[in-house]
Structure 1
Amino acid sequence: MNSDYNGHKKKKEIGFRYAWNGIKEVYKSEKNFRIHLVFALVVIGAAFVMELSPLEWTSVIMMIVIVLSLEMINTAIEKLLDHSAPEQHPVIGAIKDITAGAVLVASIGSVFIGFIIFLPKLLTLF
């Protein structure tokens, strides 16, 4: 994993580049992140087509941000644990399962919110 961190901070350096590097790293290394991103883009496209209200847009964007952020946190925790404890350990496994479960809970919640927002609009088309 590459990082711009070289042991000391430059005075004018901001964290944006490091954050962007983190997003690129997760995108490159995590299939699930890419899958979530594809679904997010499909939902955003559908939201434009179905002309969501500002409140509906807010809900959709919030859920996308929550799921993608949790996926990134899950990845960071997994990488940290793999680095610090490369051998298998039941507690490490439980921690990884719990963080993956957090992503799953958010994903399921986003599907329900998607149904609440999009299903009535889809039903009016038929």
Structure 2
Amino acid sequence: MANNNAHGWQRVIYAFGHSMRGLKACWRLEEAFRQELIILVPLLPIGLWLGASPVERAMLVGSLLLVPVVELLNSAIEANVDRIGLERHELSGRAKDIASAAVFMSILFAVVIWLLILVPKWL
């Protein structure tokens, strides 16, 4: 796992490898992550096309990119809770529910950003 002897670029290369393993694991094991990325792929160029200014494009694209970031954190929390034990526990359920709520909030944030930027253009 962690290589405490790695420094400089070697540490960056190791960290990149760990990140790629995490993305691959999340793609393979988490259906919600796959669904969000499948939706993200066509929306990214649409956001770049519909944004009238660099700030609008950054907001449209950035709000979309936030969703899989939060989903990765949600998946990490769920994996840690499941590692501790599969029996039902109030705190485990709360942790999973709060992480899920964070994903919901990031999706809501993206929807609001898109509506605030695009609806006035069509009214």
Q: In which range does the TM-score fall when normalised by the shorter chain?
A: 0.7 to 0.9
For 1:48-92, what per-residue CA distance to the aligned partner results, in whole angstroms no more than 9, with x for missing partners?
A: 443542101111232123211110000000000101122111110
Q: Which has the higher helix share?
A: 2
Once the two structures are TM-superposed, the CA of residue 16 in structure 1 deviates from its matched residue by 0.3
Alignment of 1:105-124 (within 5 A): 105-121=105-121, 123=122
Residue 108 and residue 71 in structure 1: after superposition, are their counterparts in 2 closer, same or farther (change >3 A)?
same
Unaligned regions of 5+ residues in structure 1, if any?
none
- Cα gap change, 1:26/1:42 in structure 2, threshold over 3 Å: closer, same or farther? same
CA distance in 1 between counterparts of 2:66 and 2:59 reads 10
Distance of 1:51 and 1:87 partners within structure 2: 47
Q: Does the Cα contact within 8 Å between 2:51 and 2:60 map onto a contact in 1?
A: no
Q: Deviations over 1:17-38 (max 9, x none)?
A: 0011101111111111111112
Matching residue's letter, 1:110:
A
Aligned counterparts of 2:65 and 2:108: Cα–Cα separation in 1 = 14
Tell me whether 1:77 sits opposite 2:65 in the alignment: no
- % same residue: 25
Residues 1:15 and 2:1 aligned together: no
Counterpart Cα distance in 2 of 1:115 and 1:8: 45
Stretch moving more, 55-64 or 15-24: 55-64
Determine the C-alpha separation between the residues in 1 that align with 2:21 and 2:80.
17
- RMSD (Å), alpha carbons: 2.0
TM-score (norm 1): 0.81
Q: TM-score, normalised by structure 2?
A: 0.83
**1:92 maps to which residue?**
92
Match of 1:71, as an amino acid? E
Deviation, 1:10, is 6.1
Q: Which ranges of structure 2 fall in alignment gaps of 5 or more residues?
A: none
Structure 1's 45 and 62: CA in aligned 2 closer, same or farther, altered over 3 A? closer
